[in-house]
Structure 1
């Protein structure tokens, strides 16, 4: 089956394309990705049939509909001038889940404002379906803002950090 990094790449490609739904099947295992859902909130999601249902369900990601509002950043500091935000990049959540700044409640946060990161630096964990997924920066620079709080629910594509290159 596909690795998490490969699934992230597929998600990025689908997000940038006009494809609304993508299904991948291999050896009886199925991965289904959707941009928009035509279900109502009361209808349950389709069950995923596989030997590893928790992993597959964690990887089944749906992007929020364009009309939905993204949650406002919770950790606010003084407003930054537009010039300071010109050279920044967002680190976005690759999945729906719970944001954790550290590997355990008593551990130190992976990154803080001012921390230098490289493309393979772990910046946080997003827990989905009892799976703890380490999120990598995928960019280089300095963390200038943390946009979510520890324990907050995050959506697919929601900005988590601002990084100045």
Structure 2
């Protein structure tokens, strides 16, 4: 039998994922979850005990969590494509897969903002991969024109992070 905390964790994971339906069956315990209009409904049935327990998650008041990053990713790709028309801009790309951080810690200001002047050795962000924090340098002298990713966003190898107008 699953503990209530384990069930809550499963609900949270399903709610944050793009999965619309989830089923689990183990030792007579069955869990079935379906997302319906931004709600997660969970029904737990235990065939060993005759009781049926139903847990109703609180309605989500904002858009589905997975839909938002997908929309943002499309918008960012459109920004890159729109900016690609300006061939004189330099793209600072991620050298690895990881998590993008604009600052060294949450209570410190960002390394760079739009309009910041950078040199070849200016640290512009950190990409964290497997608990290693890698400082990313601009590798070009110029001005930050656009920041293409959000703080805490997962980035891919070669993904553009910044657009720089070279001097």
> Residue 73 of structure 1 contacts residue 148 of structure 1 at CA under 8 Å; is this kept in 2?
no
Q: How many residues align?
A: 93
Contact 1:143 1:162 (8 Å CA) reproduced: yes
Query: Aligned-pair distance for 1:95?
Result: 0.4
Mapped pair 1:100 → 2:101: yes
Aligned counterparts, 1:2-151, within 5 A:
71-72=73-74, 74=76, 85-151=86-152
Cα displacement string for residues 26-62 of structure 1 (whole angstroms, at most 9, x for unaligned residues): xxxxxxxxxxxxxxxxxxxxxxxxxxxxxxxxxxxxx
1:81 shift after superposition: 7.2
Cα 1:80/1:132, change in 2 over 3 Å:
same
Q: Larger Cα Rg: Structure 1 or Structure 2?
A: 2
Aligned counterparts of 2:121 and 2:132: Cα–Cα separation in 1: 20
TM-score normalized by structure 1?
Answer: 0.51
- Corresponding residue number in structure 2 for 1:157: 158
- Tell me the CA shift for residue 128 of structure 1: 0.3
Structure 1: gaps (5+ residues): 1-70
What do you get for the CA RMSD once the two structures are aligned?
2.3
Pair 119,81 (structure 1): closer, same or farther in 2 beyond 3 Å: closer
Higher relative contact order (CA 8 A, sep 6+): 1
Kindly indicate which of the two structures has a greater share of residues assigned to helix: 2
Question: Contact 1:123–1:136 (CA<8 Å) still a contact in 2?
Answer: yes
Structure (1/2) with the larger strand percentage: 2
List gaps (5 residues or longer) in structure 2.
Answer: 1-72
TM-score, normalised to structure 2, is: 0.51
Q: Mark the CA change 1:82 to 1:90 in structure 2 (over 3 Å): closer, same or farther.
A: closer
